[in-house]
Chain A
Amino acid sequence: MLPRKHDLFFYPCDQCHESMEPNPDIRPLNAMHDSTLEHGRGRIWCLSCHDLENRNYLKTLLDELVDIDEAYLVCGGCHANRQKDWVFGAHGKRIANWQGDRTLYNCTHCHDPHSPAIKARAPQPAPPVRAGLELKHGIDHEKTAIWESQEEHDEQ
């Protein structure tokens, strides 16, 4: 599994938080680093995953400390099925070898935990046609859903 620590700009979190008083109250936060949470639609907040006292660590639902490189243990607390798929290879990115030792991408490689939805991006170019030929665009289908044409039917 590929580690994440070296990808995290602010790690280790202790650098700043050592000097700050821990505050367990649930409240809206604004901070030096981006702390908007687009995850869970208000059902979780920072200390759902981050440990209050040990800022370099995350924690599970049962308050077990989790190293940042093993963040999947935290994700799996709520997303158990997805985690199982990830362990067995049906979810997530793996690189290098299909045989022998596998190289897995951590959850947080693809999903920013503070905004896990995959963002839209530009696609790579459309396929070309054979050299010397031109692509002609046809007429797009009038694709109406069955229920839309059904309403027209009923109105008649």
Chain B
Amino acid sequence: MNHDGGKFDEARRRFLRGLGMATATAAAQPAWGGETFQDAFADFFQKDYRRMSTEEINAALERIERKAKSRYEVEIDCQNTPPQPGVVYGYAINISRCKGYRDCVHACVKENNLGRDSQMQYIRVLQLDQGDFNLEHSDHYYEPETVPVEGKHYLPIQCMQCDDPPCVKACPVEATWMEPDGIVVVDYDWCIGCRYCMAACPYWARHFNWTVPEIPAEEMNTNTHYLGNRPRPRGVVEKCHFCIHRTRKGQQPACMEACPTGSRIFGNLLDPDSEIRYVLANKQVFRLKEDLGTEPKFWYFSD
């Protein structure tokens, strides 16, 4: 054992102090995949959304904003707008009005910061022959000169926000659930990426980030929600969330806003005077794969 007396102890103290400072500085550097060490550490141990306290959620929102700044160089605003009481959302599409423009598809991509390189789209429009409703005969990749093509009709499909969602049952970590306002949401920071929910969904509504979503900085929508369109990591599942960052504030979802023919109708199922309730009461509505018992909150009709 070496006891050099005071000089050794002094040197040791200085070394340890320097080591401490160096560690603290390294921890604060954005070296861990663009995040600071503290953020990466906090991210790793982040609890699931439904068990986080308000402070923890706010801290998570700030981390998301910092990560967006370092990865995409954009200042975003990530919110956690709660559901409105007395509201359950419903959607209807008038398929005799839909002309297959796909304006909804691309409006959604921009509004929800969907990865361009990872080629994520929440809405898919199917082209079917007139008189045919067999989805196996559908064309997903139609690109004619003009739409609507004569003798065809169009069917846009996205997450049905089922009232008895098979995806929610499937998830082994409860990373997806139905919020009180009826939206089936995903906690992107809790999802482990097993993709069982994707196998369980009868509407092919859930999509996976096979790689990091690439979003051009100038096209980033900075008005975001934790459970919605804030920039997502890779390796997690995502899907249509009825533009939760808009609808919870009383605004229409982007797809409805974009549709030039006004084929889309959205509103509060609990409000008997709403547009959606009028449609359900006065039009011959149907839902896809009704016999599976998933109780979609997404109807179709033609008139």
Contacts and interface: CB of A to CB of B under 8 A. Distances in A.
Interface of A: 85, 88-100, 105, 110, 118, 120-131, 135, 137, 141, 143, 145
B283 to A, nearest CB: 6
Interface residues of B, number: 51
Nearest to A129: B119
B262 A91 contact: yes
Contacts, number: 117
A93 B124 CA distance: 21
B147 interface: yes
Interface in B130-159: 131-132, 137, 140-148
B117 to A, nearest CB: 6
A98 B268 contact: yes
A120 B278 contact: no
A99 to B, nearest CB: 4
A137 B143 CA distance: 13
25 contacts: A88-B278, A89-B279, A90-B275, A90-B303, A92-B262, A93-B261, A93-B262, A95-B257, A97-B252, A98-B251, A98-B268, A118-B261, A120-B99, A120-B147, A121-B99, A123-B142, A124-B105, A124-B106, A125-B143, A126-B140, A127-B105, A127-B124, A131-B210, A137-B141, A143-B137
A121 B267 contact: no
Contacts of A122: 145-147
Contacts of A124: 101-103, 105-106
Contacts of B275: 88-90, 94, 98
Contacts of A121: 99, 101, 146-147
B204 to A, nearest CB: 12
Contacts of B278: 88-90
Contacts of A105: 262
B121 interface: yes
A84 to B, nearest CB: 9
A96 B140 CA distance: 29
A92 to B, nearest CB: 5
B96 to A, nearest CB: 10
B121 A98 contact: no
B251 A96 contact: yes
